[in-house]
A and B are shown apart, each in its own frame.
Chain A
Amino acid sequence: MALLEGTNLRKTYRMSRRTSVEALRGVDVSIDAGEMVAIMGPSGSGKSTLMHLLGLLHAPDQADPSPHLRIAGADATTLSDRERTHIRARTMGFVFQSFNLVPTLTAEENVALAAEYAGASRGPARTAAREALASVGLADRAGHRPMELSGGEQQRVAIARALVNAPTMVLADEPTGNLDSARATEVLGLLRRFNEERGHAVLIVTHDAEVGATCDRIIRMRDGLIVSDERSVPTAQREPAEHPVPQRPPSEPAIALGV
């Protein structure tokens, strides 16, 4: 069973009364648990829109043929905002190009906030946040606010935030877009490492071929349609982990797949 499954996904954005943009023009896609997938394509190809639909940030247009979206087998095509928020909080982690940390909160508070939204009370949320920051090598930065951190550090805080609730999937929109190549490699290494150690799926939207090359599979898009979907040759040797990671059991879909 696929972790994420979408059929007939369409999305049109109305820009004004006369103009509208067909961002997605009928896409079928399926992501397995534990997969690391890159969605690539030029600007305006619909790759971000696809991620927003799969991440339940937007709902697909109701059109003919009617769209379907399933998450871990459950129908997620027409959910209320509350239900979509609930699923996002508990099963998904998000990483954005511009880090998107809350500027007034410390690194630890930013990470703890996600844990609280998923239902943790304050104390356990703090503990989980500290653990997550330690796992990305930022234990000593927990009390710093975003503006006191470098871009690479901010993105690592964002990764800690995405991972704090042990999600079944991490969705990253151009996670290396604002970083120099050394920091980009570091961030990508973290995403890959956690994918292997914890078994959650990773979906990366990118236009950087190097980023795509580190993934198991590359979905290419153009003009709102998928034009190719290729699995890369599995990399035999991955770089060893830079930071000690606390051992955790893989999440359930990962067990099911034997990852």
Chain B
Amino acid sequence: MRLLRELTRRKLRTTLTIVGITIGIWALVVFSSMANQINALVGMGTEFYADKITVTDGEAFGTSPMRLTDADAIAGVEGVAAVDPRVEIMWEADPAVGFSVPDTLNGGIPGADAGFESFQLELATGRTLTVEDAGRVVVLGSSLAREHAAVAGDSIEIRGETFEVIGTLQPTLTAPDTTGYIPLSTAQQLYITDLPPLVAESLVADELVNQVIAYPEEAADEAAVASAIEARVTNSATMTGAEFQETVGATTLIFNAIIIGVAAISLIVGGLSVINTMAMSVAERTREIGIKRAIGGSRGRIIRELVTEAGVIGLIGGVLGLGLGGIVVVVANEAGRAGGTVLFDLTPVTAAFAIGFSTILGMLAGVIPAWSAARLDPVSALRYE
């Protein structure tokens, strides 16, 4: 208690130090929360793409049409247990360019995965698509459902046509959230209108797909199966779960490195400013330390007093930084939720780390000035003005 009173009696210096730490910890909390969210997204994505081989046309980054017969050919490749031919197109015919993950429509044959899909989608409302479904029906991913404020039974407009929402999904933090699932035939009709007229003329809608998901047999070597598929189907490109992880993992690594770098810089700057303030504060109190030493305060006791004080300053800064960071995270997430971009995830581990770190940082920053102060000769310290 005496310590807190002493701190409040040195208002300006204490306040400035605490503000410095608060800003550092604030940055740490916000950046770590961002890193948490990105890692969670990548984690879910990795899970989503695991155990499957995505086959697309190799010529134009997967946007060119393939045929249903290609799916049959893939099904014939050794090691392939099931194939799920799909049409994946943009939600809008002319999508706006943006940073966020684009909304998509995805048509497939319900049950084509034959139970090999390990990533389970869970319903929030309504039901999933069945093979009997046809025409203008859709199951909405969680972000789309929130965006359109739709639940099962509602009607929404997609590309100028009215679709009946038969179900909505729980959040997955990855692709399905921004996907509307529709019957394959419906997707094929929409897809052909997207294609340039010259290309479309030579195609038949109900033979079209642009993506085939191949599920390898359990014992099969995913990479070997992928090469076999590429050999069998001309102009095909495959992406395995491992390749997804590799590609996205590399990007995430860079991203994480940037975030950690920024957080580290803010912490180093914060830490140096704490050391500086503690050093100034000790210099300012040289005389006081001399008094304490003269009347019988031991070196250890003086160091303890100063280090505890620095630790308390760090703790207060940490709590404030965490509080402000928490507010930013909550506000930004609320604002982002409307647009479907949740950027931050403040985990209890991050919170505990922020507080512990700032306290320890404060104490460490206090050690050196405290040690040099306690080493002072009491008589010269007393003469110090």
Contacts and interface: CB of A to CB of B under 8 A. Distances in A.
Contacts of B2: 105, 109
B382 interface: yes
Interface of B: 2, 5-6, 9-10, 287-288, 290-299, 301, 377-379, 382
A100 B299 CA distance: 18
Interface string A155-194: 0000001000100000000000000000000000000000
Contact of A114 (B10, B288, B296, B299): B296
B6 A104 contact: yes
A41 to B, nearest CB: 18
Contact of A89 (B291, B295, B377): B295
Most buried by A among B6, B10, B297, B378: B378
Contacts of B9: 104, 145
| Closest CB pairs A-B (n = 5) | A89-B296, A117-B296, A104-B9, A100-B291, A85-B298
A158 B243 CA distance: 77
B301 A100 contact: no
A82 B298 contact: yes
Given A52-B379, A57-B378, A88 B6 contact: no
Contacts of B295: 88-89, 94, 113-114, 117, 161
A101 interface: yes
A16 B356 CA distance: 45
B378 to A, nearest CB: 5
Interface in A96-118: 96, 100-105, 109, 113-114, 117-118
A92 to B, nearest CB: 8
Contacts of A89: 295-298
B294 A88 contact: yes
A94 B291 CA distance: 9
Contact of B10 (A96, A104, A145): A104
Given A82-B298, A85-B298, A94-B294, A57 B379 contact: yes
A58 interface: yes
B-side interface mostly: helix
A90 interface: yes
A86 interface: yes
A118 B379 contact: no
Given A104-B6, A117-B297, 8 more contacts: A52-B379, A85-B296, A89-B297, A100-B291, A103-B288, A104-B10, A105-B2, A114-B296
Contacts of B287: 100
Interface residues of A, number: 27
A52 B290 CA distance: 13
Contacts of B294: 57, 88, 94, 96, 100
Interface centre among B2, B288, B294 (most CB of A within 10 A): B294
Q: In this complex, which of B292, B295, B301, B377 has the most chain A Cβ atoms within 10 angstroms of its Cβ?
A: B295
Nearest to B8: A104
Nearest to A87: B296
B288 A85 contact: no
Contacts of A81: 299
Contacts of B293: 85
Given A58-B377, A104-B6, A90 B296 contact: yes
A88 B296 contact: yes
Contacts of A85: 293, 296-299
Contacts of B291: 100-102
Contacts of B379: 52, 57-58
B374 to A, nearest CB: 10
A118 B382 CA distance: 20
Contacts of A92: 296
Contacts of B10: 104
Contacts of A109: 2
A114 B299 CA distance: 14
A82 B382 contact: no
A92 B378 CA distance: 15
B17 to A, nearest CB: 16
A53 to B, nearest CB: 10
Contacts of A101: 291
A62 to B, nearest CB: 17
Contacts of B299: 81-82, 85
13 contacts: A57-B294, A85-B297, A85-B298, A90-B296, A94-B294, A96-B382, A100-B287, A100-B294, A103-B288, A104-B10, A114-B295, A114-B296, A165-B296
B236 to A, nearest CB: 77
A205 to B, nearest CB: 13
A57 B298 CA distance: 12
B139 to A, nearest CB: 68
Contacts of B301: 117
B376 to A, nearest CB: 11
B377 A102 contact: no
Contact of A118 (B6, B288, B292, B296): B296
A226 B382 CA distance: 25
Contacts of B377: 57-58
A145 B295 CA distance: 18
Contacts of A102: 288, 291-292
A102 B305 CA distance: 14
A120 B290 CA distance: 21
